[in-house]
Amino acid sequence: MSGSDSSRARGFPAFPARRGGRVRGRSFWAKSWAGAVEDAWPEEGPLKEGRTLARSGRIGPVTLGPGRIAADVYGGEEAFTTVLTPQELDDNAWERLWEHCADRPAVTEALLAGEVPEELLEAAEDARVGLLPGYADLGAECDCDGLDHPCPHATALGYQVGWLLDEDPWLLLLLRGRDAESALEELKCAVLFQAMTGTAGDEDDEGPDDEDGTAGPEPGAGAGPDDRLWEANRQAYDRPAVPLPPLPPLPGPLQRSGAPVTGIGADPLEVLAADAAVRARELLAALLTSATEPPPPLNGWQDTVRLAATHPDPRVRARLRESCGDPDGLDRAAAAWRTGGRAGLEVLEECWAPSEQETARARTALLAAWDEAEAGEPSPFTADGNRWTLTGRGLQLRQGRDGRWYPYRRTSGVWWPAGAPDTDPSSALAELLEPASPADPVGDA
């Protein structure tokens, strides 16, 4: 079975042992299938043994897909793998079948309602499509090395397929190459094409002239629905063209009163539109970069921080500060977001332990930068996970999971982000050791 076909295969649990009962199934499709199997394999010996074996409960779970039915059949201590291979129908056969179904409203209506009507078999015969298997298109393989072909294991599996059709007759179409969803889509296309072209009936219908050369009934003369449809189409094309009505006047310029449309102080519609655009950009970037997974959605706190950090309307930030319950905490988190987005916020809130190799490399780089900047001064670094603090100076570098180093300053006993991150810890340290500008938080010891 090909990769695409195997993806459509379905598995069914093994049937328990049965004492008596109809081995050919109960429904029309089960009986029709069993009859087709018996016609394809007419030797009575394997069929009789197969009926007994099908009821014995010695056939394992059944796998059924396009062009393939497989199961393990147990005989004593041995298990034999048995495979039936009904031939799949080609695209032309399916197209003919759906065209003939489209000519039969009752069949079409039943199929679209989820049923497989008995009349489908008649439509298949008219379309010269073998929906049920015949001798030429029902193969059987089994590793039992039996002399009969097919062996009783194959005929037993063939009978059990009929039992599956008792429960779901759509499996017959799946065996022939179409699952229910694909079959219905193709049927809808055939019905739509027929409605658009006004064609119906058999392909060998006579044209407008009879064999004797006389003209047939005129379109619209009551001969049938096809003629009436043809006449309606002709009349529609014969109608004179009607001029289009004049265009309405263009609307005037939009008058903005300055108040939001919703009447809320900070218009949420603009916020939602901007957020949707940002999220769409992130998803598109992830889609175009195969190595990147789409970022997970922000939780409520992260989204609040993002809005406070990035929204241009100060009324939005003011409302968020009032509603969050921790205005100072939100200000600090927003400052962290502005340094590195989601990664910057994680650096503020999470302390984690880098690997020993990462810690050793960071220590070497920081000590080298310290010796260059503060020659002769002993190193004041203390490390706590990913946080490196210069004791007594109120300065700190934090290593982010994104590989960047984030500077922090201590103000009024609280650590605040102090600038943009850097991928080089020595460069980040040199920047942090520069005197703080008046606008920066002032560190305390």
Domain regions of the chain by residue span:
3-195, 268-349, 356-433
List of residues 6+ apart from 153 with CB closer than 8 A: 50, 53, 73, 75, 80, 82, 142, 144, 146
Q: How many other CB atoms sit within 10 Å of the CB of residue 346?
A: 17
356-433: CATH class: alpha beta
Q: What is the pLDDT of residues 413-430, one digit of tens each?
A: 899 999 899 988 888 888
159 neighbors 34 (Cβ within 8 angstroms)? yes
Q: SS3 for 142?
A: strand
Distance CA 120, CA 54 (A): 28
Pairwise CA distance, residues 23 & 47, whole Å: 11
Strand order in the sheet with 381-384: 381-384, 387-390, 395-399, 405-411, 414-417
Please give the chain's pLDDT, 445 residues, in tens: 444 456 688 999 999 998 877 888 899 999 999 999 999 998 899 999 999 999 999 999 999 999 999 999 987 778 999 999 999 999 999 999 999 999 999 999 999 999 999 999 999 999 999 999 887 889 999 988 777 788 999 999 999 999 999 999 999 999 999 999 999 999 999 888 888 776 554 444 444 444 444 444 444 444 455 666 677 777 777 888 888 888 888 877 766 555 555 444 555 676 677 777 877 877 777 676 655 566 778 888 888 898 888 877 788 788 888 888 888 999 999 999 998 888 899 999 999 999 888 888 888 888 887 776 665 666 678 889 999 998 888 899 999 988 899 999 998 889 999 989 998 888 888 888 887 655 554 333 3
Please classify residue 181 by burial: count the beta carbons closer than 10 Å to its beta carbon, then call 0-12 exposed, 13-18 middle and 19+ buried: exposed
- C-alpha 413/C-alpha 168 separation (Å) is 72
Give the torsion sign (CA, 342, 343, 347, 350). Answer: positive
DSSP 61-94: -EEEETTEEEEEEEETTEEEEEEEEEPPPPHHHH
